[in-house]
Amino acid sequence: MSDSSRRTFIKAGMVGGFAAAFSKLTRAADATVHLPTPSEIEGPFYPITPQKDKDFDMTQIEGKSGVARGRKITIEGRVLDTDGQPVEDATVDLWQANAAGRYRHPHDPNPAPLDPNFQGWAIVQSGRQGRFHFKTVLPGAYPASGNWMRPPHIHFRVSKRGYLELVTQMYFEEQELNESDLLLMRKSEMERQGMVARRIKDEPETYRYTIVLQKL
């Protein structure tokens, strides 16, 4: 083999090796991005009091002029499957505590005040490209036991025919109480990454959260 041919052969081998390595890294990254969202307990405060208003704006209740107390935030969400494909028309059922850490539930023992203008519960559908959004307030932390404070979080139940129903909890990045939460700390580092919403905008304060469902 001539020197010129040898150099061409070596260069082709290097390019092929780099391409294979890049492909492997890309597949690994995709696998990480599209791991199913970890499940979590539903908790004891799923709403049981009937309400007509379950729309995407939880900061106001239909028929009332008041606005919920607390830090207003927007969640931009997306529902995907494990192949990274959008899941349209999934039912996204969500509920949370108000800004003071109190659920609108008759069995919540937290003495924090209820907010008569906070909706607290919404059911929305994922639309084109699996997207959904809602407006709410940053939920307050609250005591789960004598020495356990739960960090701000939102509960989700996501379902669509052909997929495993998912019940999970979404947390917020940069919350100090995340590091000591007994539920969140049971998860692996990779699982925790899939349960934390990322802040993407300050005005209006907006978080992004991706939910990944498993097919049946």
Residues with catalytic roles: 103, 142, 150, 153, 155
Structure tokens at 170: 């979404």
How far is 151 from 40, CA to CA, in rounded Å? 15
Cα–Cα nearest to 77, from 153, 156, 137: 156
How far is 80 from 37, CA to CA, in rounded Å? 10
Q: Is the dihedral of CA 174, 176, 177, 180 positive or negative?
A: positive
How far is 59 from 205, CA to CA, in rounded Å? 14
HSE, side-chain direction, 13 A CA sphere, residue 191: 11
Let me know: does 216 contact 163? Beta carbons within 8 Å. Answer: yes
How far is 194 from 42, CA to CA, in rounded Å? 17
Residue 81: enclosing H or E segment and its boundaries? strand 72-81
